[in-house]
Chain A
Amino acid sequence: MTVPSVARDSRAERSSAADPDHTQAPPVLAVRGLWKVFGPKADSVVGSTLPRAELKARTGCVAAVRDVSFEVRRGEMFVVMGLSGSGKSTLVRCLTRLIEPTAGEILLDGEDVRRADERRLRELRRHRIAMVFQHFGLLPHRCVLDNVAFGLEIRGVAKPDRYARAREVIGLVGLGGFENSYPDQLSGGMQQRVGLARALAADPDVLLFDEPFSALDPLIRREMQNEVIRLHREVGKTMIFITHDLSEALKLGDRILIMRDGELVQVGTPDQVVGAPADDYVRDFVSDVPRSHVLTLRWIMREPQPGDDLDGPVLGPDVVIRDAVRAVLSAERPVRVVDGERLLGVVTSAEILEVIAGEQR
């Protein structure tokens, strides 16, 4: 399928249209040329272009993250996706130096995280960035309230204050009434809500999630995904979300970064990733996705032809195809895709059916 150039960055434009700050504001987080190499003489491996297996055989080193650069905007839900072993966990841990990066630059609101001394780094972890873990990482000997208040306790907040704040976030994640339960008395989903509340308690600017729902069963996972979407809307935090599940990435992400063997393969909005995969790896990845659920009209509209009637119904360019099917098929004339006053193109049953027929294959 050919990609109309106008369609680039559709979601980003959409959100920037909604909130003009975004385009101008500097990114919350900027990562440039990040490397993490495990093994002896890690420094000397930085810059190497050997494939992972060969590198391992020659030097005994594993390049878990190689030369990754990206920026995360304020308030964005940024998803990092890749298969097991692609280096996602390593990448996200490098951001707060839970794993020490080997090379590169990490700027948090313009401040170089790699230059921070120990004290400053603790400050950043205590106030600016919090993390949610795959297996929750709760303290089994503490009740929910004390688990959630743990981060505040560590930074020396007085007991009444930290309990008040902890109760507040426990309510926010829907765990009210379980303050005095212990982790092993809770289901997996509830435990992860505790993990979420603990991260939120410090009121950080950025939340990191390392495959937070992989250990949960599918129903609970869906419920928790909706919970995160709700929280994202309510608290408006910047979130970096790791997953190996494409549907989760498409569902949550404003933008998605795809990794393979430690390298960045593509960054883009969900419809870019599905509509314009950067290479065969990504194409393979997204081949099972029902395109009509992800792509918008912008992706399938065509230039108006001389013979077209240009007085048909009007739809926006960011309407997902699935939602436009009925309107387009029932219209007698081509549907006009209009952004404000401007006519971008038209969509007819032919384009819609082509997409849907493609899914059946």
Chain B
Amino acid sequence: MTAVSVAAAKAPARRHLLLVVLAAWVLGWVVLRGRDTLALGGAELTPLHTALGEGMDAVDDSRNSNPFFLYFVNYIRLFIDEAVTFVQALISQPSFGRPVPVLGWLGVTGLAAGIALLYGNRRVALLTAAGFLSFGVLGLWQESMDTLALTLTAVALSLAVGIPLGVWAGLSDRFNRLVTPVLDFMQTMPTFVYLAPLTLFFLIGPASATVATMIYAIPPAIRITAHGIRHVSHETLEAGASLGATAAQSLRHVRLPMAKQTIIVGVNQTIMAALSMATIAALIDAPGLGQTVLKALQTLDVGTAFNAGLAIVIMAVVLDRVTSAASRRVEAERRAGRLRSPRGRRLEVAGVLGVAGVLGYLSYTYVWAAEFPAEANLGSYVRRAADAASVWVQDNLAAYTDAVKNLLTNALLNPFEALLTGSPWWLVAAAAVAVALLVGNVRAAVVTAAGLAALVLLGLWQDSMVTLASTLVATVLVMILGVVAGVWMGRSDRADTVLRPVLDAGQTMPAFVYLVPILGLFGPTRFTAIIAAVVFAAPVAIKLVAEGIRGVSATTVEAATSAGASTWQLISKVQLPMARSAVTLAASQGLIYVLSMVVVGGLVGAGALGYDVVAGFSQHQLRGKGLAAGLAIVVLGIVLDRVMRAATQRADAASHGGAHRTSHRN
């Protein structure tokens, strides 16, 4: 009991201390403004950057002499390149001395719809056919097939690696303990920062793109497989053992079949992650729709970007629906029992494959079935319509969008950025460490100090502060959205049914796609980047908050209602406080998501670290700085993640500690 009351008494004291720290910082800023800000111009380099660049050059030069490259990396690169090229030869690129790929649009569409029919159902087969045809209609057949080829290769490799590792992690506690932190790290690392180092090893092109995609797509495959294997009913396993099953038999006959549905969910997650990353890998020259979007973004061609973005969305929807239908089918088939005889199934498979084969043959032989007919290409209409819409919006809604933009920029972003970038670095560092100590714990403070020191050493202090300012502002917006929409969703079933599909769709969309309409609305500014990050991160935050609100015991809510609490009192005094740990978790997740959009933001005018990374891709002399900027983003991510985690722990301890203590004593 005493510990609880001490904690309760401490909370306001901490809050006062926090205010004192902030006040001291502002005061320091007023007095010392502009001193020791460690500014560095866009094209300026520090010795470290030059050294990093030279190091990268050295690695480049040793590519054909160093044994590590000769006997290891280069083989992997060759193998992956070959794999991607092979799939491209099948569906997207002229190959084998032909002017067209092996399978033309008719063959690919037929095959895809056939697979959807065999593993899913008639509805998703139709959706698949319509989706694939729309790639042609949008005038993006080849680009779409390139993206599909890259995605499928990466998915195949990810599953080939991920499922066995997942099974292993499911069976062995020791291996599970070993991989979990690695996966954690892979998943918290902002998506884009490993692109640059990868190109160092695998060169610019399909191999780097595939490896980057795999890094992003393997964690869900491993995690979800391991979860499925691990959570097979203990008693069923025991029953197998009691009948004398060997470990291999128990895996084959008990664990794998019972985990099958979960593993397919993992496949779905892997595919969606791969598609998202495969489009982003355009930054390192991956072919496909991502390229089209990227080029259009760079020339601010909203129409083209929208057109290609639409194709990406369609592909995401098709892939998601087909794999979801496949996982539901596993369950449905089990329930339907043996109603459908194996013979009937075999006939169905043969029929579908036969039809797909005929279509494939047609598309192999005839040009009309190989190249999508130009008359059906309606891409230019879509582009023009999107352009027109963007112009109309910018002309007619400018008053509103500008009002929002200016309000947020002047009221929130500018002051905060000024404070972070205008203060001497040591003042910012001292304030940040103090804040980490107050909201988190000593360890968080130590990590913060080390991280900030690293930023100084990397020579990117000011850029980091600009990025940090946008990141924090975006996170605040995410949390406002998250709490408002999350509370609404958590309290109302109707809101849940309306919002959830929208959020799910938002989460399956590749990150690139968000930029397009936002760019159309706000033009290329850091504000656009912030909004894109908010849109990207909000679904996670909203869902987590909603879950927390739903998790508040119905009895408690009933008790408060019967005591006469108003709706507002109920939310503010009961539901939100009790969901506090969910809210903090939402904040930390939202922050990670926001941070992973920093590089994308660099494409549309966010400047700072995002710009440094992007510039590093395109300009040779800025490579070293780009790499340093990538590192700086990782450092920011680690620091923010640690502080948020410590804060979450503190919130958890505060909301559960009392309950634990009392229950222990009883």
Query: Interface residues, chain A, CB within 8 Å of chain B?
Result: 93, 96, 98, 122-127, 129-131, 133-143, 150-151, 153-155, 180-182, 184-185, 195, 198, 202, 208
Contacts and interface: CB of A to CB of B under 8 A. Distances in A.
Nearest to A144: B337
B337 A125 contact: no
B235 A151 contact: no
A181 B337 CA distance: 7
A180 B243 contact: no
Interface stretch (B37-45, B245-253, B291-299, B642-650): B245-253
Nearest to B334: A141
B238 A126 contact: no
Given A122-B244, A122-B246, A155-B244, A139 B258 contact: yes
A127 B254 CA distance: 20
Contact of B335 (A135, A150, A182): A182
Contacts of A198: 239, 243
Contacts of B244: 122-127, 151, 154-155
14 contacts: A122-B244, A124-B244, A125-B241, A125-B243, A127-B244, A133-B235, A135-B233, A139-B254, A151-B243, A154-B246, A154-B249, A180-B338, A182-B337, A202-B243
B55 interface: no
A140 B334 CA distance: 8
Interface residues of B, number: 23
A154 B243 contact: yes
B258 to A, nearest CB: 7
A150 B242 contact: no
B338 to A, nearest CB: 5
B259 to A, nearest CB: 10
B260 interface: yes
B239 A185 contact: no
Contacts of B245: 154
B257 interface: yes
A184 B240 CA distance: 19
Given A133-B235, A182-B335, A125 B242 contact: yes
Nearest to A127: B244
A98 B337 contact: no
Contacts, number: 80
B396 to A, nearest CB: 58
Given A140-B334, A141-B260, 9 more contacts: A98-B238, A125-B243, A138-B239, A141-B257, A143-B338, A154-B240, A155-B244, A181-B337, A184-B335
Given A137-B233, A139-B236, A98 B338 contact: no
A155 to B, nearest CB: 6
Nearest to A129: B242
Given A130-B243, A135-B235, A180 B337 contact: yes
Interface of B: 233, 235-246, 249, 253-254, 257-258, 260, 334-335, 337-338
Given A141-B258, A154-B253, A182-B337, A98 B235 contact: no
A360 B338 CA distance: 57
A92 B233 CA distance: 19
Contacts of B253: 139, 150, 153-154
Nearest to B333: A141
A126 B244 CA distance: 5
B235 A134 contact: yes
Nearest to A185: B337
A133 B240 CA distance: 11
Nearest to B338: A180
A135 B237 CA distance: 12
B338 A137 contact: no
Contacts of A93: 238
A137 B257 CA distance: 14
A320 B244 CA distance: 42
Top 8 nearest A-B pairs (CB, nearest first) are A137-B239, A126-B244, A125-B244, A151-B243, A137-B235, A131-B242, A122-B244, A137-B236
Q: Which of A124, A134, A140 lies at the interface centre, i.e. has the most chain B CB atoms within 10 A of its CB?
A: A140
Contacts of B246: 122, 154
Nearest to B241: A98
B257 A133 contact: no
A98 B242 CA distance: 7
Contacts of A208: 242
Contacts of B235: 133-137
Nearest to A183: B334
Nearest to B239: A137
Contacts of B237: 137
A135 B258 CA distance: 16
A220 B334 CA distance: 26
Nearest to B337: A182
A143 B335 CA distance: 10
